[in-house]
Structure 1
Amino acid sequence: MGLLIPLLAFAKAAEAISSRQKIKVKNGPKEFTSLFYSLQSWRGIFETFDKDRSGRINSIELRDALLSLGYAVSPMVLDLLVSKFDKTGGKSKAIEYDNFIECCLTVKGLTDKFKEKDTGYTGFATFSYEYQLSMLIAWVCNLVWSWMCVVD
């Protein structure tokens, strides 16, 4: 899990790189170097699980990639993830590299928030509707803020 250092901003950065947008780096060369090597690590993970070398990862390949990162998700969640992160709106039933990073970071972020209440690691937690909304809103706002710190 060492690859999953706080990289919430990297998903947007990867998207910007892939679409050739200009990236405004707010920090110095050290931070850019860290970003560069993190993106290389993500590329390695992506290429490892893109078995057919299509440049896209389908739900089976995504399942294997998430498992390698320590996340076991159900087939229903895999289908939801692929449809959410598929640039074609679900037509190709596969996700590209930049969306793969965003997908993995989404699973990580939501899992980390869930684990705050599932202290026994049973896969079950009880919390109120208010807690769920506050947890998700805080997480989404943090994600958006992280993106804004890297990319215009």
Structure 2
Amino acid sequence: GNFKALFISFHGSIGAGAASTVIRPPPPPPQHQSYYGQYPTPSPPPSSSSSYGPSGGGFPAGTSPDVIRAFQMVDRDRSGFIDEYELQQALSSGYQRFNLRTIRLLMFLFKNPYDSLRIGPMEFAALWSCLGHWRAVFERFDRDRSGKIDLMELRDALYSLGYAIPPSVLQLLISKYDNGLNFDSFVECGMIVKGLTEKFKEKDSGYRGSATLSYDSFMSLVIPFLVSYD
């Protein structure tokens, strides 16, 4: 299902003929040094190992054999690329079976620059590593070992990842889950926060915590994270 609100506060309005909208995210707690928390900036892609597939490129050097095996098991045509259904199957071997909305968010955020509908070994390895990090965070804040986290645990988990989310946004994130978030739901929520933050940073070239966007640019930035694929 869709999240029912946009996760960015508007300051100003869009009137008839208005050319742009100024958007300001809520400021972080004082101990944060920027509007974007401390989540690490993605580093340049590592060098690849021996190539796999005719066009999919190679896995990063040092990739776990388990990760390579998970990819190869679902890439039955040996093209070097896998689609969303194959990704869903591959991740189920190492994590769990994610719903397709979460899978499509992952595909969008770990996009192959040459094929938006499939990912190759480089993207798969980065995605797998990211999920491993988020799994460790989820387990650390699932203090009662219920397999789910509640509102406050979600707040603490996202904060540990560098995202100081205001209470109003937390309520929106968790409102669709009556009994807490399992790991699938946590990844879905977290990837929306991560993705929107990264997309906003691209527009905020001065790192001031604000940006001026045209209406079209704003909609193009936000809509991919809100559209329901269910």
Task: Give the TM bin, normalised by the shorter chain.
Answer: 0.5 to 0.7
User: Max radius of gyration: which structure?
Assistant: 2
Taking the TM superposition and a 5 Å limit, the aligned residue runs for 1:21-40 are 37-40=129-132
1:112 maps to which residue?
198
| C-alpha contact (below 8 Å) 2:196/2:221 kept by paired residues | no
C-alpha separation between the residues in 2 aligned to 1:3 and 1:100?
A: 21
Question: Is the contact made by 1:50 and 1:57 (CA closer than 8 Å) also made in structure 2?
Answer: yes
Q: Distance in 1 between matches of 2:139 and 2:127?
A: 18
Indicate the residue corresponding to 1:129 in structure 2. Answer: 215
SS in 2 for 1:126: strand
Q: Alpha carbon RMSD of aligned pairs, Å?
A: 3.7
For residues 68 and 82 of structure 1, do their structure 2 counterparts lie closer, same or farther at Cα, with a shift above 3 Å needed? same
Q: 1:49 aligns with which of 141, 144, 147?
A: 141
2:88 to 2, 9, 13: 13
SS of the aligned residue for 2:212 comes to coil
How far did residue 123 of structure 1 move? 2.9
1:71 is aligned to 2:163: yes
The structure where helix makes up a greater share of residues is 1
Matches for 1:74-113 after TM superposition, within 5 Å: 74-84=166-176, 86=177, 91-92=178-179, 94-113=180-199
Structure 1: 5+ residue runs without aligned partners? 145-152
Distance 1:31 1:116 in 2: 20
The answer as to whether partners of 1:3 and 1:38 remain within 8 angstroms in 2 is no
Alignment gaps of 5+ in structure 2: 1-38, 44-83, 100-117
CA drift of 1:124 comes to 2.5
- Check 1:50–1:131 CA distance in 2 against 1; reply closer, same or farther (3 A cut): same
